[in-house]
Amino acid sequence: MSSPTEQKVGRDGRPGEYSRLYEEYAYVLDYLPQGRTALADHRRFMAPMVQVVGESYLTLLEAELRPGAQVAVHERLYIGKEKRDKVNRIVGRIGYPDLTASAKSELLTALEKLIVDQETRFVFFFNNSQAITSRMHALELLPGVGKKIMWQIINARERKPFESFKDIAERAGIGNPVKLIAKRIVLELSEGGSKYRIFSRAFRP
């Protein structure tokens, strides 16, 4: 089994029918050597498992490990459709409340690592994000970013597109962009009914 998440995608790339998307890599949040009881049907998974966050769509998943596989918290694991060296199968997608206490405590740090590893992807957001309503810009969904800072970012990127997180911090004056993005993702994952999602996909049990 792979690691699907769903997104409404039409033939033209706009919202439409639900299409399955698959994670290729994920970052380990917690290692469960004794497995755990599935919340939905109370089946007991005895094999060693991990809780992970997907790299592409920020999907929260549980995966069963191969016998003898060793993993570390924050490790980047291959979970795609091809032969996996450490993961035996994907147990399923989970919601934020299903994370262990340890997984929740490691989520922010794991996301920061993921964001740094994909700097180009997230710098693109700062360079290309647009208004989502007549009164709100996508940039304002980042924690601590109000109208003043939003215009600082927009004015800076119009003069010259940002090239890195360091460039954003220096020219837009917003401190650490990585932490802002990571905190926003945690909010999106933990608040299942969040109206606006700029980075993650909604959890559909």
| pLDDT of the residue at 104 | 98
In angstroms, rounded to a whole number, what is the distance separating the alpha carbons of residues 134 and 38?
Answer: 43
Indicate the SS3 state at residue 137. strand
In angstroms, rounded to a whole number, what is the distance separating the alpha carbons of residues 144 and 18?
Answer: 33
**pLDDT score of 41 more than 90:** no
pLDDT in tens, 42-98: 455 578 999 999 999 999 999 999 999 999 999 999 999 999 999 999 999 999 999
In angstroms, rounded to a whole number, what is the distance separating the alpha carbons of residues 77 and 31?
Answer: 12
| pLDDT of the residue at 149 | 95
* Exposed / middle / buried, residue 45 (Cβ in 10 Å: 0-12, 13-18, 19+): middle
Q: What is the mean pLDDT of the chain?
A: 86
Q: Which domains does the chain have, with CATH numbers?
A: 4-97 (2.40.50.140), 118-190 (1.10.150.280)
User: pTM of the prediction?
Assistant: 0.84
Lowest mean pLDDT: which of 5-14, 53-62, 152-161, 190-199? 5-14
In angstroms, rounded to a whole number, what is the distance separating the alpha carbons of residues 27 and 8?
Answer: 25
